[in-house]
Structure 1
Amino acid sequence: MSFRLSVIGFTLNKREKPTADSRKPTATKLLQTMKVTTTEQDDITVLQVTGDIDSKTAPEFERNARAATDSSKKIAIDLTEVGFMSSAGLRVLLMVYRNIRTQNGNVVLVGVSEDIQDVMSTTGFINFFSIVETVDEALVILKQD
Structure 2
Amino acid sequence: MDVRKQLRGDITVITMDGRLDSETAPRVQQELQALFPDEGVVVLDLSRTSYMSSAGLRVLLLIYRQAQHSAARLALTGLPPDVREIMDATGFLGFFTVVGSIEEGVEALSV
> Fold match, TM over 0.5?
yes
Deviation at 1:73, TM superposition (A): 4.3
**1:77 and 2:44 matched:** yes
Q: Deviations 1:107-144 (Å, cap 9, x if unpaired)?
A: 111110122112111211110111122222222223x1
Higher relative contact order (CA 8 A, sep 6+): 2
Distance 1:139 1:77 in 2: 11
Question: Which residue pairs with 2:11 in the alignment?
Answer: 44
Q: Deviations 1:34-74 (Å, cap 9, x if unpaired)?
A: 11111122332211111111111112221221013354442
Question: Which residue pairs with 1:19 in the alignment?
Answer: none
Which residue identity lines up with residue 98 of structure 2 in the other structure?
A: I
Please give the secondary structure, in 2, of the residue aligned with 1:93.
Answer: helix
* RMSD after superposition: 1.7
Please give the secondary structure, in 2, of the residue aligned with 1:141.
Answer: helix
Question: Which residue pairs with 2:25 in the alignment?
Answer: 58
Residues matched between the structures, number: 111
Question: Which residue pairs with 2:85 in the alignment?
Answer: 118
Which residue identity lines up with residue 67 of structure 2 in the other structure?
A: I
Ranges in structure 1 where 5+ consecutive residues have no aligned partner: 1-33
**Larger deviation, residues 120-129 vs 37-46:** 37-46
Distance 1:69 1:136 in 2: 19
Question: Which residue pairs with 1:94 in the alignment?
Answer: 61
**Which aligned runs of 4 or more in structure 1 are off by greater than 4 angstroms?**
none
Larger Rg: 1 or 2? 1
Normalization by structure 2: what TM-score? 0.87
Distance 1:106 1:137, change over 3 A: same
Distance 1:35 1:72 in 2: 23
Please give the secondary structure, in 2, of the residue aligned with 1:56.
Answer: coil
Which of the two has greater strand per residue?
Answer: 2
Please give the secondary structure, in 1, of the residue aligned with 2:50.
Answer: coil
Identity fraction in percent = 35
